[in-house]
Amino acid sequence: MKVLLKSAISPNGLISREDGQEDWLSSAGWDEFLEDAKIHKNIVMGRETYELVAKHYQDYNFDNVDTELKVIISRNFTAPAGYRVVKSPEEAIELAERAGYKTLLLIGGGKLNASFLSKNLVDNIDITVNPYILGKGRPFLWPGDYELKLELLSVNRASEDRVLLSYAVVKNRHLHKVRL
């Protein structure tokens, strides 16, 4: 099972406004996300992502996404209809593995992304950089005690002046765990 982290970010590494709005991101990115959710058949998100997207986007939230398994990670949250709630990244991986999926599609937000990375659970990272800078907002990766070496796999220009960067996480160079 591979864990693929996918995110749309600003050049300065933000993924939403402080209040959770994503109005500055390309809507083509949402269409690409819908394709990914269909291909990988699962999506995994943090509790705040679920709640904020449901609050701001009544018509474009995760309820209507066509995918088999929708997972929210939270230490204490009651699963809404159509979703599974698990208490940790490891539990999400176990659930997706048991369901037979080859790839777990981790969609954020930044606190959950950091949690997966700090446990060295991510294999690939796809970032779409949107041409818009916000001075403040929620980060792609919450600060923490982790460092990872990446291998650049590809750079592609997407529509609307966006750039798609694909990386593999170099697993044996997880500096956190290496004696230097």
Ligand X SMILES: NC(=O)c1ccc[n+]([C@@H]2O[C@H](COP(=O)([O-])OP(=O)(O)OC[C@H]3O[C@@H](n4cnc5c(N)ncnc54)[C@H](OP(=O)(O)O)[C@@H]3O)[C@@H](O)[C@H]2O)c1
Interface residue list for ligand X (CB under 6 A): 7-8, 15-16, 20, 22, 25, 45-49, 52-53, 73-77, 87-89, 107-112, 115, 138, 142
Q: Determine the Cα–Cα distance for residues 69 and 83; give it in Å rounded to an integer.
A: 7
Q: Decide whether 100 or 143 has the Cβ nearer to ligand X.
A: 143
Q: Give the list of residues 6+ apart from residue 18 with CB closer than 8 angstroms, or none.
A: 136, 137, 138
Q: Find the helix or strand (DSSP H, E) in which 14 lies.
A: strand 14-16
Q: Least separation, in Å, of the C-beta of 180 and ligand X?
A: 26
Residue 82 CB, shortest distance to ligand X, in Å, is: 18
- Number of Cβ within a 10 Å radius of residue 24: 16
- Residue 68 and residue 100 in contact, taking contact as beta carbons nearer than 8 Å: no
Q: How far apart are CA 161 and CA 156, in angstroms?
A: 10
Residue of minimal Cβ distance to ligand X = 109
Q: How far is the CB of 160 from ligand X (least distance, A)?
A: 15
CB of 6 to ligand X, least distance (A): 7
When the beta carbons of 88 and 180 are compared against ligand X, the nearer one is 88
